[in-house]
Each structure stands twice: as structure tokens, then as C-alpha cells.
Amino acid sequence: MTTEAADSTDAVGTVAPAADPGFLQRHGGTIEYVLIPGAALVGALAVFGIFVAMFGKNPLDLYFYMYYGAFGTWFSWQNTLTRAAPLILTALCTALPAQLGMVIIGGEGALLIGALSATSAALALQGMPPLIVQVAMVCAGVIGGGLWIMLAGGLRQYRGVNETISSLLLVYIALAILNHLVEGLMRDPASLNKPSTREIGAANMIGSIPGTDVHWGLVFGLIAAIASYILIYHTVFGFAARVAGGNIRAAKIVGLGVDKLILTVCFLAGGAAGLAGMVEVAAVQGRTNANLAAGYGFTGILVAFLARQNPLAIIPVAILLGGISASGGLLQRRLGLPDASVLVLQGIIFVFVLASDALYGRIGFLKGKS
């Protein structure tokens, strides 16, 4: 991940200025969007290196194992991509409402409800052809997660309840519902130590992309991200959403149905996170239990902010963050760092990325000399 940032610096430093003096003026904005988050990432990695050095570990070892565990081998690449899949989807849960100026941080809750709905659908349709079961699981996951976040959007629009707080409260409520059902109504009597629902059945699992161990959830994520990008930047609906996000009063004056916009966008956002829950059930866990609350929803918030809420940028950022979490196991085994070190690094990156917001438009050589 250090290399990526270094590449972008090279691109700016060597290629751009000599070839065409107007280049920076025209592309300064785009370069900023790569350069500033990249610099924030490098800064965060440096601080994290100092942090582990205080515990007597060699930071260079740290960087090497992080790279090796994330992108060093084909095996680690597959591990990284498998983790990136739900991150793309949960990041959309924050990035889509952000177009409307809303800060939704409840992706984890929508993921859990999506997983629960998808599992219920699969268990209800046992014996049907796998394709029908899988399609039903996708629909159930999207609708379950979508309604969950739509609730937060509706509360904000009709009752003025702050959506950031309500969506986070809904995470804890979702977790309670999941635990309640998994330990009661939906419990598989055979699951003793770890209460779980019954398995959805091996035939109904969505399996891996041929030739890899990466499951089809990655493709779901890529499609969802690209579709979101087209929706936001190349359709009238997306334009209306961005108008409402920029100036809600103007949107109302020109007659946009702001209520409908907010509810639809929140439904799509929650649907993406619900799909992540479905993928985790149908490709990884095979059933619903408390393991699903693995924090993908919270890391997704970071992915969305690091990608500056741009659905296309979410894809590489999710792979990067998936890589960091994939390398966690190796850091634990080789360096003896606790598993929470990934959380610390994510926190530091988040802080640096937000602080770097202050830099936009202030980097001298990108402003051009005029």
C-alpha cells in the first residue's frame, strides 16, 4: 500500500510539469483526490509504525508483513479480495446517503438484518432449485437491509431524528434481534456452543469464481459499485440527489420530491449492506450466527470516507482496507501484535484522512501559477 501512494507522487512529480504547463491547472483537482488521501495514508502508516516501535517491534518488519499478508502472494490476494467484497457493499451504505448530505453509519445493522432475512428465505425454500433459493436470498437480503436503513432515512425526513445517531442505535437493535432469534425461534438444536440457525444447505451456497477461492460476492460488490456510480453521476435521479445534497431548499423550490429521494437512496444504501450480509451467509458462514457481526459495517464507513464517497473509488479503497485486515492474522503470528492492531491502524487512517480535508485547494504547486 505504500507503493501505491508512492506511485501517485511520482506521477505528479516527474511526468506532469515538464510535459505541459497547463496540465496541473486542468487536472489539479483530480490529482488532489489521489494525492491527499494517499499522503494521509502514508502519514497514518508512519504513525502506526512509531506506535508499534514503542512496543519493541521493528516497523520495517511490520510494513513487510502487512504487504506480504495483503498482496504478497496469490493466496493473500484471494484473502484480500474475499474481505474486500463485503467492504465495497457496506461502504456504499455510507457513500450513497452522503450524496444527499446524510451521514449514515449503520451499515453493520443492515448487514445483520440482510443476513437474517436471506437465511430465513433460504430456510423457507428448502428443497427448491438452488438458483431460485439464491435469487430469493438476494431479494430478501436487499429488502431487509434496505428497509432497515430506510427507517433511519424516514425518521430523519418525517420526524427530524438525526440519522447518524439513529442508524447507529439501529445497529445495536439489529444485533439484539439477531441474538434473540438465533438463540430462540431460529436456533438449530444441534448448535450447542455457538447458537446458530440451521444451515442453508451446501447446494444453495453461491460458491467461488472459477479458478479462485474468491467467492461471487466480489462480483456482486463490483456490479453494485459501478451501478451506483452510473446512478449518481449519469442519471437524472442521481443529479436530483446531488442537487438535494448540495442545497435542499433549492431542490424543493425546483420541485424535486425530496422525501422520495431520501427514502429511495436510503433503501438502496441499506440494500447494498443487506446484500453484504447475504453474501457472508451464502458464501462464507452458511448460516446466521453472531460471527456475522465482524465489523465490516464499521470498516465500510472508513472505506467510504477514504474514497471521498465516490462509488468507483470505493473499489480500490475496499481492496486496500481488505488487505489491511487480511494481513492481521500474519501480524498476530509473526510479530505477536494483538488482533486489535488492525482496528488501531484503521482508526489512525480515519483520523488522518479527515484531518487532510483541510489541505484541499491549499497545495501551492497544484494551484498553478497565474
Of 3, 22, 159, 369, which lies in the binding site for another protein, with binding defined by CB under 8 A?
159
> Does position 46 bind another protein by CB under 8 A?
no
Of 21, 26, 135, 158, which lies in the binding site for another protein, with binding defined by CB under 8 A?
158
> Does position 44 bind another protein by CB under 8 A?
no
Q: Report DSSP state, residue 11.
A: I
For cell 442508524, name the residue: 167
* Least distance from another protein to the Cβ atom of residue 197, Å: 15
Render 168-224 in DSSP notation, one character per residue. HHHHHHHHHHHHHHHHTTTB-TT--SS-BBPP--GGGS--B-TTSS-BTHHHHHHHH
Of 124, 360, 365, 368, which lies in the binding site for another protein, with binding defined by CB under 8 A?
360
> Does position 346 bind another protein by CB under 8 A?
yes
By CB under 8 A, how many residues form the interface with another protein? 48
Residue among 331, 328, 267 at smallest CA distance from 295? 328
Contacts of 324 (CB under 8 A, 6+ apart): 1, 66, 70, 342, 345, 346
> Does position 150 bind another protein by CB under 8 A?
no
Q: Which stretch, 59-67, 212-220, 312-320, 344-352, contacts another protein (CB under 8 A)?
A: 344-352
Cβ atoms within 10 A of the Cβ of 265, count?
A: 28
Q: Which stretch, 126-134, 142-150, 156-164, 277-285, contacts another protein (CB under 8 A)?
A: 156-164
Q: Which stretch, 32-40, 71-79, 209-217, 345-353, contacts another protein (CB under 8 A)?
A: 345-353
Sign of CA dihedral 188, 194, 196, 199: negative
Total number of residues shown for the chain: 370
Q: Which stretch, 186-194, 211-219, 242-250, 338-346, contacts another protein (CB under 8 A)?
A: 338-346
> Does position 211 bind another protein by CB under 8 A?
no
Closer Cβ to another protein, 27 or 308, answer by number:
308
Of 15, 176, 223, 226, which lies in the binding site for another protein, with binding defined by CB under 8 A?
176
> Does position 305 bind another protein by CB under 8 A?
yes
Residue 134 CA to residue 137 CA, distance in Å, equals 5
> Does position 71 bind another protein by CB under 8 A?
no
* Least distance from another protein to the Cβ atom of residue 236, Å: 26
Answer whether 40's CB lies under 8 Å from 320's CB: no
Tell me whether residue 187 is exposed, middle or buried, using C-beta atoms within 10 angstroms of its C-beta: 0 to 12, 13 to 18, 19 or more: middle
> Does position 367 bind another protein by CB under 8 A?
no
Radius of gyration of the chain, Cα coordinates, nearest whole angstrom:
22
Contacts of 117 (CB under 8 A, 6+ apart): 140, 141, 143, 144, 145, 274, 277, 278
> Does position 160 bind another protein by CB under 8 A?
yes
Residues that bind another protein (CB under 8 A): 103, 105, 155-162, 164-166, 168-173, 175-177, 179-180, 183-184, 298, 301-302, 305, 338, 340-348, 350-351, 353-355, 357-358, 360
